[in-house]
Amino acid sequence: MPSPKYRREMPQRYRLEAAKCKKCGKVFFPPRLICDKCKSEEFEKITLPENGKIVTFTIIRVAPQQFETEVPYAIAIVELENGVRLTTQVVDCNPEKLKIGNEIKLVFRKIQEEGKTGIIKYGYKAVLA
């Protein structure tokens, strides 16, 4: 069984669900309980666009234990078409050739395994569009 902590994040990681403030329209990913802009506590659920571009990136060469077998791998902050930014790996590419401004698309992939039980944890990764 995946942990409660993992299950709680599934809507965001599996379906890119975000929260849009009903009062001022600001979009939060991950969702929050209060809007920092207008202090409203009312949100509607929206789905993030899958397309965007690279704002900045790096190539990780020294990784935490659960990612050790994957080095070197690219990590980027990407900006989606609606302006929301998130941190994600960029895969299926030569990391050395990446550039700020590259167009990307989010896809559903395996991210890592949980603890000693090895339960597979999923989420989004970016590929070049």
Partner 1 sequence: MKDVYVIGCGMTKFGEIWKSSFRDLFVEAGLKAIKNAGIDHLDSMYVGTMTSGLFVGQEHVGALMADYLGVAPIPAVRVESACCSGGMAVRIGFLDIASGNSDIVLAGGVEKMNDGADVTFALSTAADQEYECYHGVTFPGLYAMIARAHMKKYGTTRDQLAQVAVKNHYNGSMNPNAQFPRKITLEQVKNAVLVADPLTVLDSSPVSDGGACVILASEKIAKKFPKQMVKIIGSGAATDSLALDQRKDITALNAVKVSAKKAFKMAGLKPKDIDLAEVHDCFTIAELCIMEELGFCEKGKSGKFVEDGNTALDGKIPVNTSGGLKSKGHPVGATGIAQVVEIYEQLTGKAGQRQVKNAKIGLAQNMGGSGASSVVHILKKLND
Which chain residues interact with partner 1 by CB under 8 A?
A: 5, 9, 30, 55-67, 70, 73, 75-77, 85-89, 100, 111-112, 121, 123, 125
Shortest distance, position 78 Cβ to Zn ion, whole Å: 23
* Residue 24 contact, options partner 1, Zn ion, none, Cβ 5-8 Å cut-off depending on partner type: Zn ion
CA dist 49 and 51 (Å) reads 6
Shortest distance, position 70 Cβ to partner 1, whole Å: 7
* Residue 86 contact, options Zn ion, partner 1, none, Cβ 5-8 Å cut-off depending on partner type: partner 1
Shortest distance, position 21 Cβ to Zn ion, whole Å: 3
Backbone angles phi, psi at 115, to 5 degrees: 45, -150
Backbone angles phi, psi at 116, to 5 degrees: -75, -25
Please give the residue ranges that form the binding site for Zn ion (CB under 5 A).
21, 23-24, 26, 35, 37-38, 40
Strand partners, 108: 124
Shortest distance, position 44 Cβ to Zn ion, whole Å: 11
* Residue 53 contact, options Zn ion, partner 1, none, Cβ 5-8 Å cut-off depending on partner type: none
Nearest C-alpha neighbor of 104 from the set 44, 53, 48, 38: 53
CA dist 115 and 110 (Å) reads 15
**Host H or E run for residue 19:** strand 17-21
